[in-house]
Amino acid sequence: MNPETLTQTESRTSNSVDRIRTLVEPLVQELGLELWDLVLSGDPSSSARLSIFVERADGTVDLADCAVLSKKLSVILDVEDPIAGAFHLEVSSPGLGRTLRTNEHFERFIGSRVKIRLSEPVDGRRNVVGVLESVHGDEITMDTEDGSSITFQQQQIRRANLVVDISFTGKR
């Protein structure tokens, strides 16, 4: 799956995303953050949405970080104007159930539970939930909830997210 996977016309939008990424990354790094993902969605002729997902190296980010980055990005994006037409800017954490797109994302979460939607069935399955076991180049292997193992190529992934397990213990 390509990190610039978008919900609009590929060529024009991909160029916009590449340009936006070159504008965003230096500022993100300057603030001590890491760019997790950047998604441009919606119709550029009406009102697009630019979502920027960031975190610190330790996996944290707070509201103040997002607010500072949003304010600084707004100025740069208004001056450079990489998106034709009006757009809404969102800056946030990737969240607990974050989307996984790149090899680095998958490698970082080996041993974690993930839910994957494949673009076409592999071994008769299109939806897979299980533990991410390995990443070798573009090949990803998971141990599924039913105890079997499944291997597929990263480009076969339509969507991948971490599965959040929250358990509460103690008295009511």
pLDDT number for residue 45: 66
Q: Is 108 exposed, middle or buried (0-12, 13-18, 19+ CB in 10 A)?
A: middle
pLDDT number for residue 148: 94
Do 38 and 51 meet the contact criterion of CB atoms below 8 Å apart? yes
Compare 98 and 171 and report the one with higher pLDDT: 98
* Six token digits for residue 95: 């969240």
Query: If you compute the radius of gyration of the chain from its CA atoms, what whole number of angstroms results?
Result: 18
Do 78 and 55 meet the contact criterion of CB atoms below 8 Å apart? no
Q: Where in the chain is the domain with CATH 2.30.30.180?
A: 103-162
Query: Order of strands across the sheet with 34-41?
Result: 34-41, 47-55, 86-92
Q: Where in the chain is the domain with CATH 3.30.300.70?
A: 10-92
CA distance 28 to 85: 24
Q: Tell whether the model's pLDDT for residue 6 goes beyond 60.
A: no
Q: Tell whether the model's pLDDT for residue 97 goes beyond 80.
A: yes
> What tens digit of pLDDT does each residue of 105-127 get?
999 999 999 999 999 999 999 99
Res. 130 pLDDT band, cuts 50 70 90: very high
Do 62 and 42 meet the contact criterion of CB atoms below 8 Å apart? no
pLDDT number for residue 170: 67
pLDDT number for residue 144: 94
Spell out the residues 6+ positions from residue 99 whose beta carbon is closer than 8 angstroms to its own: 37, 159, 160, 161
pLDDT number for residue 172: 60
> What tens digit of pLDDT does each residue of 18-72 get?
899 999 999 999 999 999 999 998 876 678 899 999 999 999 999 999 999 999 9
> What tens digit of pLDDT does each residue of 71-96 get?
999 999 999 888 878 889 999 999 99
pLDDT number for residue 89: 94
Q: Quick one: fold of 10-92? A: GMP Synthetase; Chain A, domain 3 (3.30.300)
CATH classification (class only), 103-162: mainly beta
- Strand boundaries in the chain, DSSP class E: 34-41, 47-55, 86-92, 113-122, 125-136, 139-144, 149-153, 157-162
pLDDT number for residue 13: 59
